[in-house]
Structure 1
Amino acid sequence: MDRSQITPDLLLQAYAMGVFPMAESRDDPNVFWVDPRRRGVLPLDGFHISRSLARRLRKCDVSIKIDTDFAGTVQGCADRPETWINDTIASLYLDLHASGHAHSLEVWREGHLVGGVYGVTLGAAFFGESMFSREVDASKIALAFLVDRLRLGGFKLFDTQFITDHLRSLGGREISRAAYHKLLVDSQALAADFSEPETPKVHDLLQRNTQTS
């Protein structure tokens, strides 16, 4: 499928059915749809902050921002030797961001974007698309603040699409397609707000996420 065949509305309809787009590579202009047999999710009440990450958070001197540089966050996620984010996909998510359906949580240090994550919202579901890190633990810091924001904003589903060792170490797990689709339907029937919570202080974040080890 090329760009002319996919609209932002079609993309949102695909998410509502549990399907998301990928490309074979940055240089492949075509897009295909994915509906995994086993789906990755990050339970919002099961995010795992290790002692080492807690120490990193207490010492970090970064700033957390929302939707300040969505395009830069997408570019950061695509800036790797192998990526499924081609120009078609990047353009579509920029359109979704412009319409208020896609958001980024960004980690900044001294005026430079050093990490972040972006995704799509529908109802009380957040579909995490990709994350990146230009310094140690920046993506973990982004996820910690993202999970806290989603919980405070009333979200019920954090879809990570697939599970990596990195996500598993933070509490991510796999569920069946049928279980995922039930969560998806239930979450879309609810309301949530990505932009509502203020970015918390690290102390408050850690107080709400006390599952440390």
Structure 2
Amino acid sequence: MYFLSRELYFPSVYNASPEGIVAIGGDLTTERLLLAYRSGIFPWFEDDEPILWWSPPERMVLFFEELKISKSMRNVINRGIFKITYNTAFKEVITNCRSISRNGQDGTWITEDMIQAYTRLHELGYAKSVEVWQDNELVGGLYGIDLGTVFCGESMFSKVSNASKIAFIALAQKLKRENYRILDCQVHNSHLESLGAREIDRETFIEIITN
């Protein structure tokens, strides 16, 4: 296993462990985080762990032409009960992603250090958010890293039914209009699979984000 020093460097993703760990340690500076995402790597760890850097052998992504919107979701969208905004409440979105209760999870991987690091990235225009509002209350959203042609989704939350799906669909449609290549969803998630996301192998993913 490769342990990072202060040097701004990551080993090849093809040297990752079988489960996908590329390196351990390092820091969450803006420069290191951007290098990681541009290399197909993302941090994922808990408060009591060192920083773990991942590039899993199978990557969950959405190709925009494969976006699935069910009839029931189309009805929800057409009713106009939700308002969508972009980058108006980043800190609130990431904080809600941290605090929201999730089935099968005791805690969260979004540490206070992570919130500070991604807020810095947001201030520099790299980390972006989608907000879903109902009756002027923030009820759902997501955030991630914008690489210009690829959006790397990090986390989402929902306080009412369908709110996170609405955020995902709105973002996917926006990125398609802006000619992005894919929406990176990182690891398998049945929630996102129902919206059309699927797994591709690491090599294909790296080829997409680096060419």
Q: TM-score band (shorter)?
A: 0.7 to 0.9
Give a deviation string over 1:54-89, Cα, whole Å, max 9, x none: 111112312111111100000111113422111111
In the alignment, which residue of structure 2 is the partner of 1:14? 36
Q: Indicate whether 1:182 and 2:207 are aligned.
A: yes
Structure 2 gaps, min length 5: 5-23
Q: Work out whether residues 62 and 198 of structure 2, in 8 Å CA contact, stay in contact via their aligned partners in 1.
A: yes
The Cα of 1:158 is off from its aligned counterpart by: 0.8
In the alignment, which residue of structure 1 is the partner of 2:75? 55
CA root-mean-square deviation: 1.7
Question: How far apart, CA to CA, are the structure 1 residues paired with 2:139 and 2:25?
Answer: 30
Bigger relative CO (Cα 8 Å, ≥ 6 apart): 1
Which residue of 138, 142, 145 maps to 2:167? 142
Share of identical aligned residues, percent? Answer: 37
Q: Indicate whether 1:115 and 2:116 are aligned.
A: no
Question: How far apart, CA to CA, are the structure 1 residues paired with 2:116 and 2:81?
Answer: 32
In the alignment, which residue of structure 2 is the partner of 1:74? 94
Q: Work out whether residues 28 and 114 of structure 2, in 8 Å CA contact, stay in contact via their aligned partners in 1.
A: no
Q: Work out whether residues 66 and 105 of structure 1, in 8 Å CA contact, stay in contact via their aligned partners in 2.
A: yes
The Cα of 1:3 is off from its aligned counterpart by: 9.6
Structure 1 gaps, min length 5: 187-213
Question: How far apart, CA to CA, are the structure 2 residues paired with 1:45 and 1:168?
Answer: 14
TM-score, normalised relative to structure 1: 0.82
The Cα of 1:5 is off from its aligned counterpart by: 2.9
Question: How far apart, CA to CA, are the structure 2 residues paired with 1:5 and 1:163?
Answer: 26
Give a deviation string over 1:131-156, Cα, whole Å, max 9, x none: 10000000111111110111112211
Instruction: Give the residue type in structure 2 aligned to 1:18.
Output: G
Q: Indicate whether 1:126 and 2:151 are aligned.
A: yes
The Cα of 1:98 is off from its aligned counterpart by: 0.4
The Cα of 1:114 is off from its aligned counterpart by: 0.2
TM-score, normalised relative to structure 2: 0.83
Q: Work out whether residues 151 and 182 of structure 2, in 8 Å CA contact, stay in contact via their aligned partners in 1.
A: yes
Report how many residues are paired: 184
Give a deviation string over 1:164-187, Cα, whole Å, max 9, x none: 11111110100101011001112x
Which residue of 183, 195, 203 maps to 1:158? 183
